[in-house]
Amino acid sequence: MENMTPDNENTRINAPLLDSVNVWFEKIYEPTMYYMLGYGGRLDEKLLEKAVLLTIEADPYLSSRYLETEDEAFWEKMPKSSFKPYFTLQKYPKDISEIFENPPAPVDVRSAPQIRLDLYRDETGNRGDILIFALHHGFADAHGNISVASAVMNTYIRLAKDPGYVPKYKEWYPRDTKTIPERFTPEQREEAAKLTEISFEPNWSFVCGDVNRGKIFDYTGEYPRGGKRFSVRTISPENFRKIKAFGKRNGATINDLMVGAFLLSLLKSCGCVSDEKSPKCVLTAGDIRRYYGFDIDDNPMNMSVAFTVTAPCDENTPLKAILPKISQTVRMHKNSIMGLGFICGVEKIRESGLRALRDFYNSHMDEGLSKCTSNPVFSNIGILDTRSYDTVPGCGHCGKSGSDLKLEYALFMPVISHAPGFSVIVSTYGEQMTLISGYEDANTDRGRVEALLADMEERLIRESENP
């Protein structure tokens, strides 16, 4: 049985606006994201490779390349003969930190397919397989990328039971925001516009601190590039429980706590103060799928928008003191029609053509690079739901044919920021929460990054232990 593309299906479709925006962001970060799964033994690599290919063939976007003309952008479905490697075997690291210090290769959104699975295997058989799914932000956001990895694992499990299994073909599913403004009244659109979804006028960056205090310079001409890496800090189950209890006592979510801690720790690292005259903002993201009916089939796509959060504070301000302001801002966005103001704004610019919108984004990114300004970004990926692939069939090696393997850990690794950009994301697996930042060694100080992650945890624990 073959997974056939319908004969009458178009081989090219207009790319959604949010896809193009996340491709353009390659100017300020490397847009590849990674999802890591560690199992307690060997999987069947041939079955895994087949599962990846079947997942690609079941989704026309996955098997496409992104391309732009002067005024249009497309996804173009490509033949398998043109695919770049979508499954690779990699040398097992001596320690997992080697992967963080030398991340897997990026994915090229302008080639097909839009996924690659790297399998790290210990040839001695003493350690279990590590799977790293690499996908491009131009194809989908973190939620979408995880859903693709989940589809691969679920297909792998089905193939172990039925070698002839073929997932249902998706066809070109809706994933554009173009018609969203039409669903709302002018009054609703006007009200949404009052919520500033994203500030294009940052006055600081992690690298430079408050740029209003000193010189403004051409960052790209003064700093080198290179040395991609991740810094990772895992919060223990005991400390995670303390943090959750602290949030519950104060009516705050984990996301509120982490955004607040991020802001305070940034102020300490940068030697800055956030006040009414010069507020220091962080960007955080919201998933808008459920607001617009894109959450029904869990198809991978870009459906996240950013908004700014700030509070008057300095590094010595207790987190508890700014939580009401943080929580109020986040609730204001989530309780409204999230993302509508942003979508209406960019769609209005797009009426003049894609070039107008591309120029708009490029001008703001170029200004930030020239002034060394970039609001730091915090994103909470949330709980990694691995229930459908917590247990998977093992391979026939080592006399363990048919044995089940347990998932031992899961971790999401974000885009790698180009300075002056900076971001921290958090993901939760089981009872452990992990903070991780992707950056370049050549222009961002590793010591400062790791000190910031440590300060975030220590600040949270200190306040959680002092009600």
Q: What is the pLDDT of residues 379-428, one digit of tens each?
A: 999 999 999 999 999 986 433 445 899 999 999 999 999 988 999 999 99
pLDDT of residue 197: 47
Does residue 294 have a pLDDT over 90?
no
Please, are residues 139 and 75 in contact by the beta-carbon 8 Å criterion? Answer: no
Query: Do you know the residue count of the chain?
Result: 467
Q: What is the mean pLDDT of the chain?
A: 89
Share of the chain above pLDDT 90, in %: 65
Domains delineated in the chain: 12-162+386-407 (3.30.559.10), 185-384+417-464 (3.30.559.30)
pLDDT of residue 399: 35
Does residue 462 have a pLDDT over 90?
yes
Q: How confident is the model at residue 80 (pLDDT cuts 50, 70, 90)?
A: very high
pLDDT of residue 145: 95
The pTM score is 0.93
pLDDT of residue 217: 42
pLDDT of residue 195: 63
Question: What is the arithmetic mean of pLDDT over 62-80?
Answer: 94
CA-wise closest residue to 117 among 62, 187, 40: 62
pLDDT of residue 185: 87
pLDDT of residue 1: 44
Q: Please give the C-alpha separations between residue 203 and each of 199, 200, 432, in angstroms, as whole numbers.
A: 10, 10, 34
Does residue 183 have a pLDDT over 90?
no
Q: Please give the C-alpha separations between residue 415 and each of 3, 206, 236, 268, in angstroms, as whole numbers.
A: 32, 16, 24, 24
